[in-house]
Amino acid sequence: MTTSTEKTVQTVLNYIDGQWVEASTGQTAESLNPANVDDVVGRYQLSSSEDLDQAVEAAWKAQKEWRKLPGSARGDILFKAADIMEKRIDEIARTMTREMGKTFPEAKGETARGVAILRYYAGEGMRPVGDVIPSTDSSAIMFTTRTPLGVVGVITPWNFPVAIPMWKAAPALIYGNAVVMKPASEAAVTCAKVIDCLHEAGIPAGVINMVTGSGSVVGQGLAEHPKVSGITFTGSNGVGKKLGQLALERGIKYQLEMGGKNPVIVAEDADLDLAVDATISGGLKSTGQKCTATSRVIVHEDVYEEFREKLLAKVAEITVGDGLNEGSWMGPSVSENQLNTVLSYVQKGKEEGAKLLYGGNRCEKGANAKGFFVEPAVFDEVTPDMAIAREEIFGPVLALMKVSSFEEALDVANDSDYGLSASVFTTNISKALSFINEMDAGLVRINAESAGVELQAPFGGMKQSSSHSREQGRAAIEFFTSIKTVFVK
């Protein structure tokens, strides 16, 4: 998967038609360690539309035979890839930590999730498909079956460089599609290792391809390519909507998972210690760089002060540092751009009149000075109209908001353009039920943090968070296949 190395820097190649190949441009870019910019994790290909075209052509040809294989045979390859990924778990997780910054235990957990996703979808190859539907003609049989889309373009972000590529590619493959993957530039080296597991597992040439490079060339090119029949994307709202429009114009299927501004409600009867731990874990793990991260903390006035003090005491214990160091609880922002976004929201929060209770500064001492580290930030006196209460920050920033009733808490929680995930802390069953019924979010969690997606359950958002389709679990079949109704007489 690499060419010869200069020092220890890997050069990751494109994976096209079963071969690791250089881009036609001859150009590469560096992927830097956000914990230490002197550490070059690798180089990836800056591909052109010519490279993309080769990948799509290879996928298009390979899909014709791939779709004819029994599901169990496709599943065997995914099972093998899962075993290989499991053996390489430390290597892949280490690369992930070096490349995008999340701590090594989190990276290892995510790689294990990638293994489990592969196994789950491998099993799909043996599960029933379709329904038998009674016909009005008693001498006929009527049933539904499923047909793959063809070539699917998979465009992935940097924040889950193993899990997201796998939860998109594995169902695409098991249901008989071929894939062309465009990973985020900031996680291209990690993604290449994942593709290499499928290569080692003997996936037929052309069935999966990976082309790295700029989003506007390779990503947009995928959506525009006449031989691509579906686009699945996770990332920012701006890019997602553009891709959706392109796909709509071409009349192809698309699936967009985008941002979140996820609330946690802490009711007056909540277990406050549990709520504090879950707010910290949900909001600050992975440096807040999850679409499901908690960012709005809506607390009942009766417990507001107690909750705030407990939260501040625990946030103050957080150690920020290189995710490969054992003592680090929170790693850096993924890039200088992302760090600057976080710092600009901290500034905006102060300007808009919120009170910064803790953190929010760039870490500039010791080894952290070499990376894109920021202290976790906690704001008090946040009101629903402020930018830090409305816009996705994608960083370790918690906005505390005080309410005087559960109804008000629900109104504030729903006062958002987004609707991805939400959680509530309460010991009252009626409040929990109201929350389940009235919260406009695709994922609602009771007495649990807002992040934390299970691979066997549908995942996706409401409002501006998604294109209203669902990924993962058996729900994935809805996007990656079309229903065919069959009538036989």
Ligand X SMILES: O=C(O)CCC(=O)C(=O)O
Other beta carbons within 10 Å of 18:
16
Q: What share of the chain is helix, strand, coil (3-state, %, to 5)?
A: 40, 25, 35
Least spacing, CB of residue 315 vs ligand X, in Å: 20
Give the number of C-alpha atoms closer than 13 A to the C-alpha of residue 156, restricted to the C-beta side: 29
Which residue number, 77 or 107, has a Cβ lying nearer to ligand NDP? 107
- Enumerate residues 303-342 that contact ligand X by CB under 6 A: none
Q: Are 220 and 240 in contact (CB under 8 A)?
A: no
Interaction partner, residue 479 (ligand X, ligand NDP, none; CB < 5-8 Å by kind): none
* DSSP string across 291-340: TT-EEEEEEEHHHHHHHHHHHHHHHTTPPB--TTSTT-SB---SSHHHHH
What are the residues facing 257 on neighbouring strands?
234, 466
Which residue number, 23 or 398, has a Cβ lying nearer to ligand X? 398
Interface with ligand X (CB under 6 A), residue total: 9
Residue reference for tokens 């096209």: 16
| Amino acid letter, 240 | G
Q: Are 446 and 424 in contact (CB under 8 A)?
A: yes
Interaction partner, residue 170 (ligand NDP, ligand X, none; CB < 5-8 Å by kind): none
Give 415-419's long-range contacts (Cβ < 8 A, gap of 24+).
415/384, 416/261, 416/263, 416/296, 416/390, 416/463, 417/261, 417/390, 417/463, 417/464, 418/259, 418/260, 418/261, 418/262, 418/392, 418/461, 418/463, 418/464, 418/465, 419/461, 419/462, 419/463, 419/464, 419/465
Q: Which two structure tokens, joined as six digits, stand for 235?
A: 């990332």
Is residue 119 near ligand X by the rule CB under 6 A? Answer: no
The site for ligand NDP (CB under 6 A) is made up of 155-159, 182, 184-186, 214-216, 219-220, 234-236, 239, 242-243, 257-259, 291, 338, 341, 392, 394
Which residue number, 162 or 311, has a Cβ lying nearer to ligand X? 162
Indicate the SS3 state at residue 141.
strand
Least spacing, CB of residue 289 vs ligand NDP, in Å: 7
Least spacing, CB of residue 326 vs ligand X, in Å: 23
Helices 301-315 and 272-284: crossing angle in degrees, nearest 10, is: 50
Interaction partner, residue 105 (ligand X, ligand NDP, none; CB < 5-8 Å by kind): none
Interaction partner, residue 452 (ligand X, ligand NDP, none; CB < 5-8 Å by kind): ligand X
Is residue 452 near ligand X by the rule CB under 6 A? Answer: yes
Is residue 109 near ligand X by the rule CB under 6 A? Answer: no
Which residue number, 178 or 443, has a Cβ lying nearer to ligand X? 443
Least spacing, CB of residue 219 vs ligand X, in Å: 16
Least spacing, CB of residue 188 vs ligand NDP, in Å: 8
Is residue 159 near ligand X by the rule CB under 6 A? Answer: yes
Among 212, 234, 333, 426, interactor with ligand X by CB under 6 A: 234
Interaction partner, residue 451 (ligand X, ligand NDP, none; CB < 5-8 Å by kind): ligand X
Active site residue 186: no
Q: Which two structure tokens, joined as six digits, stand for 157?
A: 């972000």
Helix (H) or strand (E) run with residue 196 in it: helix 188-200
Backbone φ and ψ for 184, nearest 5 degrees, come out as -60, 140
Which residue number, 79 or 329, has a Cβ lying nearer to ligand X? 329
- Enumerate residues 278-297 that contact ligand X by CB under 6 A: 290-292
Indicate the SS3 state at residue 420.
coil
In total, the chain counts a number of residues equal to 489
- Enumerate residues 360-419 that contact ligand X by CB under 6 A: none
Is residue 451 near ligand X by the rule CB under 6 A? Answer: yes
Among 453, 464, 472, 481, interactor with ligand X by CB under 6 A: 453
Which residue number, 66 or 160, has a Cβ lying nearer to ligand X? 160
Is residue 464 near ligand X by the rule CB under 6 A? Answer: no
Is residue 149 near ligand X by the rule CB under 6 A? Answer: no
* Beta-sheet strands, E only, within 354-408: 355-358, 377-380, 397-403
Least spacing, CB of residue 46 vs ligand X, in Å: 25
**Residue from 57, 257, 392, 471 carrying the catalytic annotation:** 257
Positions marked active-site: 257
| Contacting positions for ligand X (CB under 6 A) | 159-160, 234, 290-292, 451-453
